[in-house]
Amino acid sequence: MIHVSNLERHYPDFALNITSFEVPENTITGLVGVNGSGKTTLFRLIAGLAKADSGTITVFNENAWDMPVSIKKRVGVVFGESGFPGSFMIEDVKKSLASWFDTFDKEEFDRLCAKMKLPSGKPLNTFSNGMQAKLKIIAAISHKPDFLLLDEPTAGLDVTARYEIHQMLQDFMESDGRAILISSHIAGDLEQLCDDFWMIKDGSITMHETVDDLLNRYGVLYLNDEQMESLDDAAVVARQKTRTGWKVLVNDRQFYEENYPMLHMDKGNIDDLILISEGE
């Protein structure tokens, strides 16, 4: 659904440079990285809100910067800074969506708002952060898109609100031929939702891996300097110097469990991947 090739976008103090990136249909794909790594810049380029200096982005095989309306209607977008006017009520949101999208499903919108217990008689500026986030997701999916582009949709939310949003996204993916690209600072969100993920660092993609492989194969070793010196680094992905020694991320946990049984090792996760890679 999304294909990026040889993409470059330059700013005075930052450059995005992505050789290859894609989101196939029937998958939920995560994009991970620290603040300032380029996640939102890439999302804006995919959404057609900015134009690259060189390279290509295609959305349903159409150039992202010249998408016809018929293609734009197939994309649902949520950005952290986006939203409806605070004076709006649910009915105002529904009227706006109905005027923008001929595919807008009023009954589905009402059903989801009721399911998420969103108050219909109050202005949006009285909604909690969780209510605001749920409404953004409902608005994005109620015009029946095939692809969702979600930039930090659960940021700042409690466990209950995040779970309810996860349920909406999983329900969305029950129909064939859909896909989601999502970024999040909450590793647990991505590990629960995503099929695969890409890591971005300093504007470049540094890794593409399935979530299953990360959880099943990766591990974190805790070493002193002497152990670090003698370690076979054939499967080392990243290493970080700590106050007491080293944290080492490896992509073959079984190899080190079998050959270094005396070493302490934990299973790997997305947080480890980001923290150790950034700490190199």
Give the domains, in start order, of the chain with CATH numbers: 2-213 (3.40.50.300), 218-278 (no CATH)
What is the C-alpha separation between 251 and 235, in angstroms, rounded?
Answer: 6
**What confidence score (pLDDT) does residue 223 get?**
95
What's the rounded mean pLDDT across residues 170-198? Answer: 93
- Cα angle 120, 125, 129; round to 5: 90
What's the rounded mean pLDDT across residues 159-179? Answer: 94
Contact between residue 170 and residue 176 where contact means Cβ atoms under 8 Å apart: no
- Cα angle 235, 240, 246; round to 5: 85
CA trace torsion 89, 93, 95, 100 (10° rounding): 160
- Cα angle 50, 201, 6; round to 5: 50
Residue 224: Cβ-neighbour burial (10 angstroms; 0-12, 13-18, 19+): exposed
Q: Can you give the C-alpha Rg of the chain in angstroms? A: 21
**What confidence score (pLDDT) does residue 45 get?**
96
**What confidence score (pLDDT) does residue 279 get?**
67
Helix, strand or coil for residue 144?
coil
**What confidence score (pLDDT) does residue 28 get?**
97
Tell me the H-state helices in the chain.
39-46, 69-72, 90-100, 106-115, 129-141, 159-172, 187-193, 211-217, 225-230, 253-259, 270-278
**What confidence score (pLDDT) does residue 280 get?**
60
**What confidence score (pLDDT) does residue 29 get?**
97
Could you report the per-residue pLDDT of 94-147, keeping only the tens digit for each? 999 999 999 999 999 999 999 999 999 899 999 999 999 999 999 999 999 999
What is the C-alpha separation between 93 and 214, in angstroms, rounded?
Answer: 40
**What confidence score (pLDDT) does residue 115 get?**
94
The DSSP code sequence of 185-201 is S-HHHHHHH-SEEEEEE
What's the rounded mean pLDDT across residues 172-198? Answer: 92
Could you report the per-residue pLDDT of 205-252, keeping only the tens digit for each? 999 999 999 999 999 999 999 999 999 999 999 999 999 899 999 999
Higher pLDDT, 30 or 82: 30
